[in-house]
Structure 1
Amino acid sequence: MSQSLALRDPWSMVPSLGNLDAYISAVNRLPLLSADEEQEFASRLREHGDLQAASRLVMSHLRLVVSISRQYLGYGLPQGDLIQEGNVGLMKAVKRFDPSQGVRLVSYAMHWIKAEIHEYILKNWRMVKVATTKAQRKLFFNLRSLKHGMKEDAPDDQSHRNSMSVAELDRVAQQLQVRREDVLEMETRLAGGDVALEAQTDDDGESFAPIAYLSDESSEPTRVLESRSRDMLATEGLKTALAALDERSRRIVEERWLKVNDDASGGMTLHELAAEYGVSAERIRQIEVAAMKKMRKALAQA
């Protein structure tokens, strides 16, 4: 029997998030699961609904949530709240994790953890949402990161500037592959104020900032795993998924989701495709939904 199984009540080892330092210290002392233990617990949960196995999987990855939460301290929101939301994402990941896919839970869970934290930030960072579409949300997080990088690189006599120059707007637009107008619009929204400045400790009001802006995350384990997984899905995974479709379904998916014209607009609309194939727009939408389901199934089996 493993060490983690020998713990009668492992949750008793973890204090509440009210004492953040004690919580972080406690979760960092929790034992990690080996690959075999993880497979065993995940199989017991998936096949028998074993809640004790689910508990072991969640607890062994609480430190992952703490690590990811540090990447978002610069938004001025309490780290305890970020961790709490990340833990919700972790539990969702554990519930949906399929051990037969041959991947470790850590690489699967970090997407769910970040998704929950992103939702929390977007709902609470401003009274008025600054990002409403998927593309705007991606621009929201990437733009903040790039802006802080440019501040660090700027000369001392220019580091106080809050607004971006035309050259900086063009540089960001090129890096994020969006229009300069989109960057300018998001920059205007971000400059609107109403940022929560609550300190994360009792020391001073700026205690949260440096760790978010100065840490080198290029070799951080979750970032490396996420990058590898994203690269695989964007190349071989996408090719495999598209190959599972018939010609019409594949073209509809490509036109609706994968095609970008020179003016940064997307491919054909539902009505344009409907006119071409001689069916209703609703029928094109149904074909698109069915194709997406088939692609997800192909990706899961890849």
Structure 2
Amino acid sequence: MNTLNAVIPRDPWTVVPSLGNLDAYIRSVQAIPLLEAAEEQNLARQLRDQNDLQAASRLVMSHLRLVVSISRQYMGYGLPQGDLIQEGNVGLMKAVKRFDPDQGVRLVSYAMHWIKAEIHEYILKNWRMVKVATTKAQRKLFFNLRSLKHQYKGEAAEAHEAHLGRAGLSEADIHRVATELNVRPEDVIEMETRMAGGDVALEAQADDDHDAPMAPAAYLADDHHEPTRMIEAHHRDWLASDGIQHALESLDERSRRIVEERWLKVNDDGSGGMTLHDLAAVYGVSAERIRQIEAAAMKKMRKALTEDA
């Protein structure tokens, strides 16, 4: 026999699909043999008692096809099957690690819970930017509402849209869903509203029309804590308090009083301070002279504030 032409059989316990080829991966895991009950028990005990990683690998590999099968149930959420399989595999490995062979159940039954739990968590985190389900009851409603809604619509396909309720279901169907899932009818309506809501881009697209609605980023942004604005706000506060006081101290007594009386004093009735003519009478000079002193004082204050900025 020509050894060069011989075909070396591939170990069925190895998965070597083409890079990035999901179909090849699925074909590979389907080719991995299933374990007999006794073999599964022995491998599980080796893992538990001896921490045998080779046994763990055999247990995981023999159930990869289960993850593929379960992932197909969640293809309607717009997420890549490859990602669903990846998350399901994480759940499978958690199940293998926690599996007790003395409980009298097969690993396949035990692992289904962990696989679905991991896929559910992934869907809830990625299906919408805003979480649609947070409590246990909301999660149950989220994953069952879609299938129940399609089931009820199929039963009454001839119903006119005008007779449908807010959730796209008749009032009777809303109550049927609520009863079956043990939630309030209001919860059914709210969840359907969340699921039906379209995603909105946070920032405007490059080709958006000028007449298009303002993107959320334009009115949701909080720039109060932006560093430049914080520095500017701090500087304004300083100018309105310590800065003005320091600038006034640079003036002689007469110039300081003129500025204070003209700009910083407020009468009880809300009116301004003294007029040019009032101050002219106090100092025995003309109103024009008071205006000149005021202008020189303001110039000196601006210079002082600039130097301290």
TM-score by length of 2: 0.57
Distance change >3 Å, CA 17–CA 176, structure 1 → 2: farther
Please name the residue that 2:87 is paired with: 85
Contact preservation (8 Å) 2:140, 2:181: no
Please name the residue that 2:15 is paired with: 13
Please name the residue that 2:146 is paired with: 144
Equivalent of 2:120 in 118, 121, 133 = 118
Unaligned regions of 5+ residues in structure 2, if any?
1-8, 201-309
Please name the residue that 1:183 is paired with: 188
Distance change >3 Å, CA 8–CA 158, structure 1 → 2: same
How far did residue 173 of structure 1 move?
Answer: 1.1
Contact preservation (8 Å) 1:75, 1:121: yes
Deviation digits for residues 245-300 of structure 1 (CA, Å, limit 9, x no counterpart): xxxxxxxxxxxxxxxxxxxxxxxxxxxxxxxxxxxxxxxxxxxxxxxxxxxxxxxx
Distance change >3 Å, CA 56–CA 158, structure 1 → 2: farther
SS at match of 2:134: coil
Contact preservation (8 Å) 1:65, 1:86: yes
Separation of aligned partners in 2, 1:179 and 1:89: 31
Separation of aligned partners in 2, 1:25 and 1:92: 24
Q: CA RMSD in A?
A: 2.3
Please name the residue that 1:43 is paired with: 45
Question: Which structure ranks higher in relative contact order (CA pairs < 8 Å, sequence separation ≥ 6)?
Answer: 1
Amino acid at match of 2:143: F
How far did residue 47 of structure 1 move?
Answer: 0.5
Amino acid at match of 1:25: R
How far did residue 150 of structure 1 move?
Answer: 1.9
Deviation digits for residues 175-229 of structure 1 (CA, Å, limit 9, x no counterpart): 212211111111111111239xxxxxxxxxxxxxxxxxxxxxxxxxxxxxxxxxx
Separation of aligned partners in 1, 2:111 and 2:41: 15
Unaligned regions of 5+ residues in structure 1, if any?
1-6, 196-302
Distance change >3 Å, CA 158–CA 67, structure 1 → 2: farther
TM-score by length of 1: 0.58
Amino acid at match of 2:170: S
Please name the residue that 2:30 is paired with: 28
Separation of aligned partners in 1, 2:43 and 2:194: 46
Please name the residue that 1:71 is paired with: 73
Q: Could you list the runs of 4 or more consecutive aligned residues of structure 1 that deviate by over 6 angstroms after TM superposition? A: 159-162
How far did residue 14 of structure 1 move?
Answer: 3.8
Please name the residue that 2:276 is paired with: none
Amino acid at match of 1:76: G
Contact preservation (8 Å) 1:89, 1:115: yes
Equivalent of 1:167 in 172, 184, 187 = 172
Distance change >3 Å, CA 115–CA 12, structure 1 → 2: same
SS at match of 1:178: coil
Question: How many residues are matched?
Answer: 189
Distance change >3 Å, CA 148–CA 16, structure 1 → 2: farther
- Over alpha carbons, which structure has the higher Rg? 2
Please name the residue that 2:54 is paired with: 52
Please name the residue that 1:194 is paired with: 199
Contact preservation (8 Å) 1:14, 1:27: no
Separation of aligned partners in 2, 1:14 and 1:158: 52
Distance change >3 Å, CA 35–CA 147, structure 1 → 2: same
How far did residue 159 of structure 1 move?
Answer: 7.8
Equivalent runs, 1:230-269 vs 2, <5 Å = none
Separation of aligned partners in 2, 1:83 and 1:17: 15
Provide the identity percentage: 77
